[in-house]
Structure 1
Amino acid sequence: MNVNPTYPLFPIFSFVGFIAVLIPLPWHLQAWNSGTCMYIAWTALACLLQFVNSVTWRNNALNLAPVWCDISTKLFIGASVGIPAAGLCISRRLYKIAVIKSVTVTRDDKRRAVMVDLSITIGLPVMVMALHYVVQGHRFDILEDVGCWPSIYNTLPAYFLVFMWPTLLGCVSFTFSALTLRAFYRRRLEFNQLVVSNSSMNVGQYIRLMALACIEMSSTVPISIVSLYITNEAFPIQPWISWDNVHYDFSYVGLSPAVIWQSNPRYVVSVEMARWLFPACGLLFFTLFGFAAEARRHYRAMFLSIAKFFGYKPASQAVLRAPSM
């Protein structure tokens, strides 16, 4: 019987990442941080899908849920583009705050910014999910202990239609982050007033978002390049012959027991790197935002609201309501 060294560690981390990244969502929604909200949404979705897959296909490679695999494999591709796209929107917003000269931001301005962010963080991933069909060699694969895995025929068009997007978005994010750091340095004396006047965040939130953007963009480019290199080592690039050749026997589902797919060490590294990135993104986000002062205030308010339901009253309120002697 195959022994999976990542079980139950991976499903635990995936589920914890799913829960942890959702915790700061309410106050980012209140602040109209659309890029950050989409980062949360894509990361949470990917972590949840990975959790279900790793549990369902533990020690088996059976085609148990074909419709689920059709949907989840497309969403994995969407998340691999959606997360760096959200990082780009975060970097772009930080740059606009750093260089903006007007001290007033109207509701219409916020609404336009949200629409632009959504067009990038939803429209672009959906476009890549659709383009994936061009180089989708067959329906999907099922890897034992991993679950549903997207099929991408390793040919030159695949790099322009699917593979290049994380690297491209990471490069654009890098440019915005570099310009933001330069603007931050130049206007550091007036920065506190600038952030408060032009956004729904404080300086601490701005710095944490900048840290998230810098970590994300500095990780996306090298990881995507290394992943492509490893994939090419495992499965060399093939020539594009024709549409019919790529989609021949398209309904085929590749069922790979662990002893088969793990026999290729480079492919193992590629698969494990790709799937561990999602819980890592969730835990990184919670590390930056889950312990901040505003987060602790929300935790305290939530605790008090639950405690009051059971009749508990804070000590300060009890003193105020105590009868005078």
Structure 2
Amino acid sequence: MIAAPPNYVFSIFAFTGFLMCCIPFPWHLQAWNTGTCLYMAWTGLSCLNLFINSVVWNTTAINYAPVWCDISAKFIVGVAVAIPASSLCINRRLYHIASVRSVTITHAEKRRGIMVDLAIGLGIPIMEMILQYIPQGHRFNIFGEVGCFPFTYNTPVAVVIVMVPPIVIGLISAVYSILAIRAFNKSRSQFKELMSSNKNLNTNRYIRLMCLAGIETLLTVPLGCYALYRNILVGQIQPWRGWEDTHLGFSRVDQIPAILWRMNPDLQGNLEMGRWMSVVCAFIFFFFFGFAEEARKNYRSVVQSVAKRVGVSSGSFSSGMFSSSGYVVLGFILAIRN
């Protein structure tokens, strides 16, 4: 049996990942960084969803909330393509910025870019949630400690609809990432001029976005290929016998206590890796953007606002130093509430 940390460890990390995506979200939303906002939204909500599941079903696999599980399981299906799709939006935007010939971007072009990003980062995941119903063998599963989890009947149709899309999106994102790096190297002399026309982006943030999307792509493609390998060569793919055969007994809900699924090393590895990936994505994002200059500026602004409200002089904050960890916590709370 594979050694795994206690479930409360995952719960703590999952909720922390949710907070890490919430804290920088307001100022990225104000800057209309669509791909980044989509990445934070999908990753943060995924962490929150998994956190709730890990708490509610910490010691049981009873079907307490069937409607919640319907929504939660479908959301897990969507997140599998939503995070790679968000990275695709980021890489695509970075490529267009680096390869643009003119420093002037019209409002119509900006609006069109946002609409394309929403079509990729929202449209594709929603379509994936709908299409997953085709190879969905029964309603959902409940695993002790993990909670609600989608069930996809392992057929060739499932391979095409559920397993291949994340890999394809990851490969397209990788192509854009390579093109963005090439365009960036070619137009270094013009890059400062391009950045000066874009108030919401500078060279430092451009590189951090490129690293974030690149790392996510490096995680998506190998893990997606490994999952595909496990299902095709190791797993037992069943022939597609039609709609009625796949959805026979569709209302069934399998409830598996933790002590049982942890006795299966393959199942345990798949479940643990599947739920920890969202947490890893949240931590990677915060590593690149939670301590950046614009983040510290916003933290400082919030802390100064809190200091004024409680009647404390904010002079020490103007120098960029946080003199009390208590104010940092208050600032984080206020940032989340706002």
Amino acid at match of 1:185: N
Q: Tell me the CA shift for residue 234 of structure 1.
A: 6.2
- Aligned residue number for residue 291 of structure 1: 291
Distance 1:317 1:38 in 2: 32
**Displacement of 1:227 after TM fit?**
2.3
Equivalences for residues 129-278 of structure 1 within 5 A: 129-198=129-198, 200-232=200-232, 235-278=235-278
Q: What's the secondary structure of 2:32's corresponding residue?
A: coil
Q: Does the Cα contact within 8 Å between 2:73 and 2:148 map onto a contact in 1?
A: yes
Alignment of 1:80-91 (within 5 A): 80-91=80-91
Q: CA deviation at 1:230?
A: 3.2
1:186-235 deviations in whole A, cap 9, x for unaligned? Answer: 11232222223246211111110010011011111001111233345664
Structure 2 letter corresponding to 1:237: I
The one-letter code sitting in structure 1 at the alignment partner of 2:54 is S
* Aligned CA distance change for structure 1 residues 243 and 112 (closer, same or farther; 3 Å): same
Matched residue pairs, number? Answer: 316
1:137-157 CA distance string (max 9 Å, x none): 000000111100101000001
Kindly tell me: are residues 317 and 205 of structure 1, through their superposed partners in 2, closer, same or farther at Cα, counting changes over 3 Å?
closer
**2:231·2:237 contact (CA, 8 Å) conserved in 1?**
no
Whether contact under 8 Å (1:138, 1:253) holds in the other structure is yes
Separation of aligned partners in 1, 2:233 and 2:66: 29
> Quick one: which amino acid aligns to residue 88 of structure 1?
L
- Paired with 1:136 and 1:108, the residues of 2 have a C-alpha distance of 41
Q: TM-score, normalised by structure 2?
A: 0.90
Q: Is the 8 A contact 1:208 1:288 kept in 2?
A: yes
Q: Secondary structure at the match of 1:158?
A: helix
Q: Compared with structure 1, are the counterparts of its residues 243 and 192 closer, same or farther at alpha carbon in structure 2 (3 Å cutoff)?
A: same
How far apart are residue 80 of structure 1 and its match? 1.0
Report the secondary structure of 1:305's partner residue.
Answer: helix
SS in 2 for 1:189: helix
* Matched residue SS, 2:197: helix
Match of 2:325 in 1: none
> Secondary structure of 2:206's partner?
helix
Residues in 1 aligned to 2:4 and 2:208: alpha-carbon distance in whole angstroms: 36
**TM-score scaled by length of structure 1:** 0.93
Map Cα deviations across residues 66-91 of structure 1 (whole Å, 9 max, x no partner).
Answer: 00000000011111111100000000
Q: Which residue of 2 aligns with 1:51?
A: 51
Matched to 2:119, the amino acid is S
Distance 1:283 1:5 in 2: 18
Pick which of 75-84 and 85-94 moved more.
75-84
Which letter does structure 2 place at the counterpart of 1:50? Answer: L
Q: Shift of residue 306 of structure 1?
A: 0.7
Matched, 1:63 2:70: no
Preserved CA contact (<8 Å) 2:11 2:51:
yes
- Deviation readout 1:277-321 (Å, 9 max, x if unpaired): 001111110110000011000000000001101112323899xxx
Q: Distance in 2 between matches of 1:63 and 1:316?
A: 53
User: 1:111: Cα distance to partner?
Assistant: 1.3
- Measured in 1, the distance between the counterparts of 2:199 and 2:233 equals 46
Q: Is the 8 A contact 2:57 2:145 kept in 1?
A: yes
Q: Secondary structure at the match of 2:134?
A: helix
Match of 2:336 in 1: none
Q: d(CA) in 1 for partners of 2:215 and 2:196?
A: 24
Q: Does 1:302 align with 2:287?
A: no
User: How far apart are the structure 2 equivalents of 1:5 and 1:229?
Assistant: 27
Q: Where does structure 2 lack aligned partners over 5 or more consecutive residues? A: 319-338
* Letter matched to residue 299 of structure 2: Y
CA contact (8 A) 2:91 2:210 kept: yes
The match for 1:102 is 102
Instruction: Map Cα deviations across residues 171-197 of structure 1 (whole Å, 9 max, x no partner).
Output: 000000001111111112322222232
For residues 25-59 of structure 1, what are the alpha-carbon distances to aligned partners after superposition, in whole Å with 9 as ceiling and x for unaligned? 11211221101101111001100000000111112
Which SS does the other structure have where 1:8 is aligned? helix
Paired amino acid for 1:283: F
Give SS of 1:142's match. Answer: strand
Q: CA RMSD in A?
A: 1.7
